Structure 1
Amino acid sequence: MDSSDSETVVLRPGVLGPPVGCPVRWCRSARARRVSLRIDPRAGEVVVTLPMREGRRAGMALLTTHAAWVMQRLAALAPPVALAPGAEVLLGGRPHVIRHDPAARGGAFLDGATIVVSGRPEFLARRVKDFLRAEAKRRIAALAEGHAAALGVRIRAIRLKDTNSRWGSCAPDGTLAFSWRLVMAPDWVLDYVVAHEVAHLRELNHSPRFWAHVERLTPHREAAQDWLRDNGPALLRVG
């Protein structure tokens, strides 16, 4: 059974550098065959995965060896964005300001470049996230239906998830899944990810035939991949 816990570990990024506190999440996994580490951009911490029979000493050795890389990657993360009044979040790649209007009705809705949120303040973050998820589902469904018609394929269902590493996926039964956070990306980036997953309904692989279908559906492949590589981690810092 997998387990995890978090703590702050003191690292020294350089030989002469001062010690720095580093947020670490220790994960013990029955599936792990070796000690590994990765950066979790959403939580803003380094994740050290240990096999069941491996002690933390091995994890500390790996952390110490890669201390400079770990601290550099953590420092490069975009600042977290809380879903609060006055905060700015992207929608379709364009900044929108959250405004709390207790007297308004309708949960959360758009008013130009403003996301207006009604009701009590303690419900604001949840209502903004619900709004973004609903908007993501609406936009993704419209794009997916259009691309599916162009390829002559059938979508069984569309699911929304909140994943750390995959923006979209296609199951063998024809179910497509997407990160709701894609609604914050520019429209052409969303279009590429949706086209990519719909193309898997014809080719459940990454063969030349698959990429030919993607190119047929969208012209944004390379630019969208670059945008997600450069800006995708910042989307995970929202909320």
Structure 2
Amino acid sequence: MEHNETEVVPLRAHPLALPTPTPVRWNRSARARRVSLRIDPRAGEVVVTLPPRSGRRAGMALLNTHAAWVKERLGSLAPAVPLAEGQAVPLGGLPHVIRHDPAARGPAILWQGEIVVAGDKAFLTRRVGDFLKAEAKRRIAVLAAGHAASLGVKIKRIVLKDTRSRWGSCAPDGTLAFSWRLVMAPDWVLDYVVAHEVGHLRELNHSDRFWAHVARLTPHREAAQDWLRRNGPTLLRVG
């Protein structure tokens, strides 16, 4: 069982100190064996995980010890991009400006490099999010069907998630799961991730046979992996 609590903590490290109050999410986990910390790029928070018998003093000591690392990692995060009018969000790797048009048809549509959102402006953020997820599901389904046909495998279903570390996964029952945020990546990056997970329908491992299947489906393995390492955290800052 885990319990999460977020607060803004003014870290006072010695001899280093972070210049501004830092959001820290305290995560007490029955499964944890030691105090640990990580950066949540989506929330822009430091996450400190405590075992059942460790107190916050141990967490603060770890934060102070690694203050320079925390400062560097938080400082390197891309700016947060809200789903708001006038903001540019990537779709297929290309920026699209969000524009509100109460008279437009449908909740949201693509039009000449814009995401045009209809209806009451109060629902704009939700409608843009729904549009991006629907577009992700549509694009992924098309790619997955083509790759599955090439390998002669069947997909049970496709689900979308909002994961922080895994872009895709394949369950033993043939269910494929993907982060909806992949719709913002270039098309060839999305194609690689879909090909990767479809490949697991033949080999639920990372053996040489598995990678041979992936190579049959897409030539973009190394470039896409590099792109996700460099730019994946930016996608987590949208919305």
TM-score (norm: length of structure 1): 0.97
Q: Which residue of 2 aligns with 1:95?
A: 95
For 1:25-47, what per-residue CA distance to the aligned partner results, in whole angstroms no more than 9, with x for missing partners? 00001111111111000100110
Identity fraction in percent: 77
1:183-207 alpha-carbon deviations (Å, 9 max, x no partner)? 0000000000000000000111111
Q: 1:44 to 1:56 in 2, by over 3 A?
A: same
Q: Secondary structure at the match of 2:230?
A: helix
What residue number does 1:134 align with?
134
Structure 2 Cα separation of the partners of residues 91 and 23 of structure 1: 30
Whether 2:167 is the aligned partner of 1:167: answer yes
Deviation at residue 11 of structure 1 after TM alignment: 2.4
Q: Which moved more, 1:147-156 or 1:19-28?
A: 19-28
The equivalent residue for 2:46 is: 46
Whether 1:190 aligns to 2:190 is yes
Give the Å deviation of 1:233: 0.6
SS of structure 1 residue aligned to 2:21: strand
1:218-237 to structure 2, matched below 5 A, reads: 218-237=218-237
Task: Give the letter for the 2:27 counterpart.
Answer: C
How big is the shift at 1:15?
Answer: 2.3
Give matches, 1:14-93, under 5 Å. Answer: 15=15, 19-93=19-93
Measured at CA, do residues 17 and 39 of structure 1 come closer, stay the same or move farther in structure 2, by a change above 3 Å?
A: closer
Q: How many residues align?
A: 239
CA RMSD between the two structures:
1.2
Q: Distance in 1 between matches of 2:38 and 2:136?
A: 28
Which 10-residue stretch deviates more, 5-14 or 118-127? 5-14
Q: For 2:205 and 2:164, locate their aligned partners in 1 and report how far apart those are by CA, in whole Å.
A: 21
Contact 2:84 2:98 in 1 (8 A): yes
1:156 lines up with 2:178 in the alignment: no
* Distance in 2 between residues matched to 1:18 and 1:9, nearest whole Å: 10
Q: Structure 2 length as normaliser, TM-score?
A: 0.97
Task: Tell me if the contact between 1:14 and 1:68 (Cα under 8 Å) persists in the aligned partners.
Answer: no
SS of the residue corresponding to residue 89 of structure 1 reads strand
Shift of residue 103 of structure 1? Answer: 1.5
Unaligned runs of 5+ in 1: none
Gaps (5+ residues) in structure 2? Answer: none
Does the residue aligned with 1:48 lie in a helix, a strand or coil? strand
Which amino acid in 2 is paired with 1:22?
T
Assess if the C-alpha contact under 8 Å between 2:87 and 2:97 holds in 1.
yes
Maintained 8 Å contact 2:14/2:64: no
Deviation at 1:112, TM superposition (A): 1.4
Aligned with 1:11: secondary structure?
coil
SS of 2:109's equivalent? strand
Find the residue that maps to 2:95 and give its secondary structure.
strand
Partner secondary structure for residue 224 of structure 1: helix
